[in-house]
Chain A
Amino acid sequence: MSVLPFLDVALALLIVGLAVWTIAARVLFASVVGYVAYGLLLALVWVRLYAPDVALTEAAVGSGVTGVLLITAGKRLGAARAGEAGPAPGLAQKLFAGALALLVAGALAAVILILPDPAPSLAPQAAAAADGPGAGLGNPITAVLISYRSFDTMLEKVVLILAVLGVWSVGADKAWGAAPAPLGQRNPYGASVFLAQMLAPVGAVIGVHIFWVGADAPGGAFQGGALLAAMWMIAMMARITEPPRIDARRLRLALVAGPAVFLIAGLAGPLMAGSFFAFPHAFAKPIILFIEAFMLLSIAVALPALVAGPPSGRSE
């Protein structure tokens, strides 16, 4: 009898507990903090589900970068008066919501328990295709993301551009083109400057490493890019560097680099391998790494841009 099942149950209880806290906490900021802790623990569940790639993404994006975003927002809104969001829900509403939530959760749990056995899987097809279009990649997730379902991935990068533009577009008209407000305080503490100076270079190296090994081991452009983004954000919070102006040509080029290169490679598919978004067998790995390198850049720039928010007319 191993100790793992007990750890699993403890982890599950802790996660559900934190989720309850996130929903039930009275104070907005407490709820935000609960959610960030929850996200970190969730990454452990992904490790237990044999999903190290997802665990890395969840830890970096789902918990880390989202955490910065939510905590910043929570801090700004937390100071506001209570009750400004509208009246608290009545008992009937609570009962209705509770019943609906119970119904959905119960039905979902029941359905999950009767998922068919043996489970259907595309793993055999993915393994077989590895000799074809996805040649030379040891990490099947990267093969799915950049080869078999590359179309989804390209579109998702377009979604990121739209999200950045959407965030910028809620700014004021007269601020358009300017830089977003700085992420940190005017006079950052020595400790945060120290942290940024020490951590950012190491983190950037690790980020590039995670991207580079992503072809064959857990990791890839998403995870590496998120780490690079986090390092840039740490540097911005310490005011070592500032968010760039949103009309800077270099920023915009970096943001579209991933989807643009992906789109061009997809369009070149018929010439290279007879089909859109297909890669020639012999060069699949270098082409995929080439595309991923630009995606790494786009992700590393897009995530901080999303956190930094709309352009601000404020100058310090």
Chain B
Amino acid sequence: MIALVDLFSLAAIGAGVFFFFAGTVGLLRFPDSLTRLHALAKADNLGLGLVALGLLPRADTALAALKLIVIWALVLLSGASTAQLIGRALRRGRK
């Protein structure tokens, strides 16, 4: 049972790290700001979500688990909004 939970954590966190890695590569390699933004948003939303998911079974208390979810939700919220804002600013700058 414990081994199974560990395996789940490992898989989820591993997948999360992969998305972060991919996002970082995108940030460094993509040609323009909008596509880089796209790469970053993937890393933030999916990557962090998977890492938080993987950590959930390892939380000591229900409160700690709740905090993990809240952290992910907050990052999701601010990440999505700032991506919007940066995108808008870029479009305005281009005109």
A interface with B by C-beta (< 8 Å)? 189-192, 194-195, 198-199, 202
Within 8 Å by CB of A189, from B70, B77, B80, B84, lies B84
The minimal Cβ–Cβ distance linking B17 to chain A, given in whole angstroms, is 13
The minimal Cβ–Cβ distance linking A131 to chain B, given in whole angstroms, is 30
Cβ-defined contact, A199 with B85, below 8 A = no
Tell me the nearest residue of chain A to B85, going by C-beta: A191
CA distance A195 to B81 in the complex (A): 6
The minimal Cβ–Cβ distance linking B93 to chain A, given in whole angstroms, is 12
Cβ-defined contact, A191 with B88, below 8 A = yes
Q: How many residue-residue contacts, CB under 8 A, span A and B?
A: 23
Tell me the nearest residue of chain B to A194, going by C-beta: B81
Tell me the nearest residue of chain B to A193, going by C-beta: B81
CA distance A198 to B76 in the complex (A): 11
Most chain A C-beta atoms within 10 Å of own C-beta, residue among B74, B77, B81, B84: B81
Other than the given A195-B77, A199-B74, 8 more pairs (CB < 8 A) read A189-B85, A189-B88, A191-B85, A191-B88, A192-B81, A195-B81, A198-B77, A202-B74
CA distance A198 to B85 in the complex (A): 15
Within 8 Å by CB of A195, from B70, B78, B88, lies B78
CA distance A198 to B73 in the complex (A): 11
Give B39-95 interface residues, CB cut-off 8 Å to A: 70, 74, 77-78, 80-82, 84-85, 88
Chain B residues lying within 8 Å of A194, measured Cβ to Cβ, are 81
CA distance A194 to B83 in the complex (A): 13
Chain A residues lying within 8 Å of B84, measured Cβ to Cβ, are 189-191
Chain A residues lying within 8 Å of B80, measured Cβ to Cβ, are 191
Cβ-defined contact, A199 with B88, below 8 A = no
CA distance A60 to B80 in the complex (A): 21
Chain B residues lying within 8 Å of A192, measured Cβ to Cβ, are 81, 85
Tell me the nearest residue of chain A to B89, going by C-beta: A189
CA distance A256 to B82 in the complex (A): 34
The minimal Cβ–Cβ distance linking A227 to chain B, given in whole angstroms, is 12
The minimal Cβ–Cβ distance linking A122 to chain B, given in whole angstroms, is 32
CA distance A190 to B70 in the complex (A): 23
Cβ-defined contact, A191 with B81, below 8 A = yes
CA distance A195 to B70 in the complex (A): 15
The minimal Cβ–Cβ distance linking B28 to chain A, given in whole angstroms, is 15
Tell me the nearest residue of chain B to A195, going by C-beta: B81
The minimal Cβ–Cβ distance linking A256 to chain B, given in whole angstroms, is 33
Can you identify 23 A-B contacts, CB atoms within 8 angstroms?
A: A189-B84, A189-B85, A189-B88, A190-B84, A191-B80, A191-B81, A191-B82, A191-B84, A191-B85, A191-B88, A192-B81, A192-B85, A194-B81, A195-B77, A195-B78, A195-B81, A195-B82, A198-B77, A199-B74, A199-B77, A199-B78, A202-B70, A202-B74
